[in-house]
């Protein structure tokens, strides 16, 4: 069977959607011809509109010419003053006009030039490669809107996060209308237990037979990592790897916590993006406690979290969405400091059978000396893979891939 896993965009940085898509692609490629298809990352130096093979999967990144032009204009505006900015915009007046027309087109029709381009490129790809199944790993963005219009293929929507059920979604009526259109247009949708529960409580429950509950397939044993050392072992290296958000995952508590630690051997390394000004402010005030490294590649992230001494998880303010990063952390077997913003944080149930965890609740008083003791006493400890594989098997690509196989 020929299967295409569709992502919104190839991202050279650490992207949760892409990681999950790759884990599933590698699993399905054992029995099927699998393509991973998405928009070329304008910020990378990789080639567009060509195929390359990796781990029995074939990757294809199509070039969105309009998106590339917009990216190039934005890059040329960086660091420019008002006069020079005006000059750049005038030189690229065609792109500016297209952006304005794009906004107008979306306001009137909820379509954009990119959507038409996405559908055209995808339709040609499906016909050329004789694709039989499309699996959309999407936020969702334009991709899922166009996938449901492709004919004569089985369509599956893999929902990683809540869409219209997101507590920070501003226009819930519009997003609910979109979600109903998406779920109506696909054959099946793979969702988390939290999303399934949301469907069962609203008008979308009439589509609940299309839903299949799966976990994040991020429990992977890495045995082929580079041997190069990432950290100096003179200090205890705590690592947060992920993205901050001002609303759903604000870093202030985390940054304040490590800034106040009295043990000078402990240092927190931050890998990822979001809330850059907050991170910069704390890092400048306590450079001996906090090191902000910025965004890193997927391969580098895999190496970093497996060479850490302690992993730090910062969770969300909503109970219906769990960061997939926690499963990657579990797969290392390393000690985890788990920071919860709410009492009913979904990570608590997942971690209740994980022996090396220290849970912290932002709304409760914090005993810093107790946290420092946990860190110091657990450096060098690691849970055996056999235990993790047995207790967390439902989070493996094998388990999730098996569920997908049932509906192909």
Q: Are residues 135 and 264 in the same domain?
A: no
32 and 114 assigned to the same domain: yes
Asked if residue 131 belongs to a domain, the reply is: yes
Whether 79 is covered by a domain: the verdict is no
Domain count, the chain: 2
Flag whether 153 is in a domain: yes
Q: How far is 303 from 299, CA to CA, in rounded Å?
A: 6
Residue 224, in any domain of the structure:
no
Of 209-223, 286-300, 367-381, the one with minimum mean pLDDT is 286-300
Q: What is the CATH number of the domain that holds 242?
A: 3.40.50.2000
User: Does residue 101 sit within a domain?
Assistant: no
Residue 404, domain member (yes or no):
no
Is pLDDT above 90 for 389?
Answer: yes
Element (H or E) spanning 94, and its range?
A: helix 93-109
Q: The pTM is what?
A: 0.84
Residue 45: inside a domain, yes or no? yes
Identify whether residues 256 and 360 lie together within a single domain: yes
Both 187 and 322 in a single domain?
Answer: no
Instruction: Give the Cα separation of 128 and 289 in Å (integer).
Output: 54
Query: What DSSP line would sit under 139-198, residue for residue?
Result: SSSHHHHHHTT--SSEEEEEE-S-STT-TT-S-HHHHHHHHHHHHHHSSEEEE-HHHHHH
| Confidence (pLDDT) at 201 | 87
DSSP one-letter code for 78: T
- Strand-pairing partners, residue 245, are 249
> How far apart, in whole angstroms, are the C-alpha atoms of residue 227 and residue 272?
22
3-state class (DSSP) for residue 297: coil
What is the tens place of the pLDDT at every residue in 106-147? 666 666 667 677 778 888 889 999 999 999 987 656 678 888
* Residue 326 and residue 255 share a domain: yes
Question: Is 86 a domain residue?
Answer: no
Whether residues 342 and 246 share a domain: the answer is: yes
Do both 205 and 240 map to the same domain?
A: no
Based on the fold, state whether residues 203 and 243 are members of the same structural domain. no
181 and 274 housed in the same domain: no
How far apart, in Å, do the first and last CA atoms of the chain sit?
Answer: 9
Q: Are residues 261 and 334 in the same domain?
A: yes
**Please, which pLDDT band fits residue 162 given cuts at 50, 70 and 90?**
confident
Cα separation, 201 vs 179, in Å, equals 15
134 and 253 both lie in a single domain: no
Residue 100: band (very low, low, confident or very high) from pLDDT cuts 50, 70, 90: confident
Residue 135 belongs to domain spanning? 2-65+110-213
Q: Quick one: 272 and 372 in the same domain? A: yes
Structure-block tokens of residue 108: 């009137």
Relative to beta strand 154-159, strand 133-138 is parallel
Residue 42 binned pLDDT confidence (cut-offs 50, 70, 90):
very low
């Amino acid at each position: 069977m020929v299967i295409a896993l569709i992502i919104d965009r190839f991202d050279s940085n650490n992207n949760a959607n892409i990681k999950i898509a790759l884990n599933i692609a590698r699993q399905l490629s054992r029995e099927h011809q699998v393509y991973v298809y998405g928009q070329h990352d304008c910020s990378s130096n990789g080639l567009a509109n060509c195929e390359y093979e990796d781990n029995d999967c074939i990757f294809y990144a199509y070039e969105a010419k309009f998106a590339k032009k917009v990216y190039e204009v934005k890059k040329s505006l960086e660091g420019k003053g008002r006069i020079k900015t005006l000059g750049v915009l005038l030189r690229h007046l065609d792109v500016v006009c297209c952006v304005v027309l794009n906004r107008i087109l979306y306001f009137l029709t909820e379509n954009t030039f990119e959507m038409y381009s996405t559908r055209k490129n995808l339709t040609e790809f499906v016909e050329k490669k004789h694709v039989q199944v499309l699996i959309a790993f999407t936020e969702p963005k334009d991709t899922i809107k166009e996938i449901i219009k492709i004919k004569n293929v089985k369509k599956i929507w893999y929902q990683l996060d809540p869409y219209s059920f997101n507590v920070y979604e501003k226009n819930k009526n519009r997003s609910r209308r979109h979600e109903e259109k998406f779920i109506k247009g696909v054959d099946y949708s793979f969702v988390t237990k939290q999303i399934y529960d949301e469907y069962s409580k609203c008008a979308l429950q009439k589509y609940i037979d299309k839903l299949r509950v799966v976990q994040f397939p991020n429990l992977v044993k890495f045995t082929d990592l580079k041997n190069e050392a990432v950290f100096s072992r003179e200090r205890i290296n705590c690592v947060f790897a992920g993205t901050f958000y001002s609303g759903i995952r604000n870093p202030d508590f985390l940054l304040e916590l490590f800034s106040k630690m009295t043990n000078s051997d402990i240092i927190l390394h931050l890998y990822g993006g979001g809330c850059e000004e907050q991170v910069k402010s704390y890092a400048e005030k306590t450079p001996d406690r906090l090191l902000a490294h910025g965004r890193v590649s997927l391969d580098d992230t895999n190496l970093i979290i497996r060479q850490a001494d302690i992993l730090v998880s910062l969770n969300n303010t909503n109970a219906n969405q769990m960061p997939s990063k926690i499963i990657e952390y579990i797969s290392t077997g390393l000690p985890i400091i788990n920071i919860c913003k709410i009492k009913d944080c979904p990570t608590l149930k997942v971690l209740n059978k994980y022996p090396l965890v220290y849970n912290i609740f932002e709304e409760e008083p914090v005993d810093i000396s107790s946290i420092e003791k946990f860190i110091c006493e657990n450096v060098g400890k690691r849970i055996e893979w056999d235990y993790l594989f047995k207790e967390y098997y439902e989070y493996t690509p094998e388990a999730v891939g098996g569920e997908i196989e049932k509906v192909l």
